[in-house]
Structures are given as C-alpha cells and as structure tokens.
Amino acid sequence: MLTLRKAEERGRADFGWLDSRHTFSFGEYYDPDHMGFSVLRVINDDRVAPGAGFPTHPHRDMEIVTYVLDGALAHKDSLGNGSTIRPGEVQRMSAGSGIRHSEYNASKTAPAHFLQIWLLPQRSGIAPGYEQKAFDAVEKRNVLRLVASPDGRDGSVTIHSDAALYASNLAGDATVEHTHGPGRAAWLHVARGSVALGAAVLKEGDGAAILGPEPLAIRGVAAESEILLFDLPA
C-alpha cells in the first residue's frame, strides 16, 4: 500500500533567515494525522540564509541525521565537536542522555539547504555521540547507497535506531530497486528532481509511505534526481 505525502501539504515555518518545510508535526506545526511514520519522527527541509542559523540548544533521546544538499553547515556541540558539513556528507548526532549544539550556515554569501531527520532511538539515556562521513556522488550514482544503519555496515554512519537509510542520485530514467522484508515498511523522500514509484510520480519534497513486502522500483523522471529511502519497522 502506497500513501503519498505531497510537498505542498507539508507544514511550513518562515522566519526570514529560515524557510523550513515539515513532513511531520514539528514546532508550531501540529497535524495529528502526520506525527511521524514508524520510528521516523522528523524530516525538516531547511533553507538557511547566509550567516544565519540555530544558536546553541538542547536535545535528548533522539537520533538526529543531517544531510546537506547545497552549501555548508557549521556544527558545534557540548561534546567538543566542531565541523562543517557539505553536500554528500552525512552527520549523525545521538542526543541520548543530553547534548547541546548549534548549527549555522558556514557561508556569509550563499544559502544552505539541508534535510534534518529525527529517528526514535531503540532505548533512552544512551551516551551522546557524534559521527560524520562523506559519500561521494559516484557511490550513490544509480544505486541505493546505505548511509546510516544500526550496525554501521558498508561504511555507513551508526544510528541507535531500528532503521536503515539509503541515498541515491538518479540520472535520467535510471531505476533502483529495494525489497524490505516481512514486518518492515519504507518511506521515500524526494530531495530533488522527480521519480516514478509504480503509477505515482513524486516531485521534489514529496514523500511516500510504503507498507507491504512488495519489491520497490524507483525510476528517475527528471534529468537528475536525488532520493532518500528509509527501511523501517512496520
């Protein structure tokens, strides 16, 4: 069974320096019909103005994955980590028993565009942690590249959540396939471009919940498309 979540139906927060679209309820946007999907709690599609960003703030008991699409994001946290996240890089921050961090557009002249993803952890109160890895475009070209998983397999970042996150850059009408096993489900997010999933065509910002064990075939429709696919508990 396929359920679409159209880009234009998402929540929105526009603060001038930040234009954010919320796939699921977040902040002042509340929709009881869209509180998350399985252990996937948040997909925020954020655009941050040059030099602007989120001052230091706390999190706890959440696995937070940041995926940069354009520009660069500067990160600092209470564990002493300081880094810049660029396109192709994936950051995992385990909030666990408590962490404080800040995120700013690293450029004074160009906007930053990124996805921030929250996943429910398998247990609460773990030690907070941080990890960042790069996955170049070749690794994701017309294949589903695992970028986050509970066991860190295939060089992915390690998340303390029962979820596997794949990324792919599709050229033209290239197709990628995925089968999730019994008791599993999937969420597809189109980061840019557009793709076909069966008879449905999804454009940038669209999402889809997929229940049932049928194999998925995701075909590019635009000249270039980028997708994230989550394999989750049903």
Per-residue pLDDT reduced to its tens digit, 111-138: 999 999 999 999 999 999 999 999 999 9
Per-residue pLDDT band for 214 (boundaries 50, 70, 90) equals confident
Task: Report pLDDT digits (tens) over 11-53.
Answer: 999 999 999 999 999 999 999 999 999 999 999 999 999 999 9
Rounded Cα distance, 146 and 148, in Å:
6
pLDDT at position 150 over 90: yes
Cβ neighbours, 10 Å, residue 165: 28
Per-residue pLDDT band for 1 (boundaries 50, 70, 90) equals confident
What share of the chain in percent tops pLDDT 90?
Answer: 95
Residues in Cβ contact with 170 at an 8 Å cutoff, skipping those fewer than 6 apart: 142, 176, 193, 195, 218, 219, 220, 224, 225, 226, 227
**Mean pLDDT of the region 208-231:** 95
Which domains, ranges and CATH numbers included, belong to the chain? 2-233 (2.60.120.10)
If you average pLDDT over every residue of the chain, what do you get?
96
**Mean pLDDT of the region 187-197:** 98
Task: Report pLDDT digits (tens) over 86-119.
Answer: 999 999 999 999 999 999 999 999 999 999 999 9
61 and 124 in contact (C-beta within 8 Å)?
yes
pLDDT at position 162 over 90: yes
**Mean pLDDT of the region 171-193:** 96
Find the radius of gyration of the CA atoms of the chain: 17
Rounded Cα distance, 63 and 94, in Å:
5
Residue 179: its pLDDT value, please? 93
Residue 212: its pLDDT value, please? 84
pTM (2 d.p.): 0.96
pLDDT at position 181 over 90: no
**Partners of 186 in beta bridges:** 210, 231
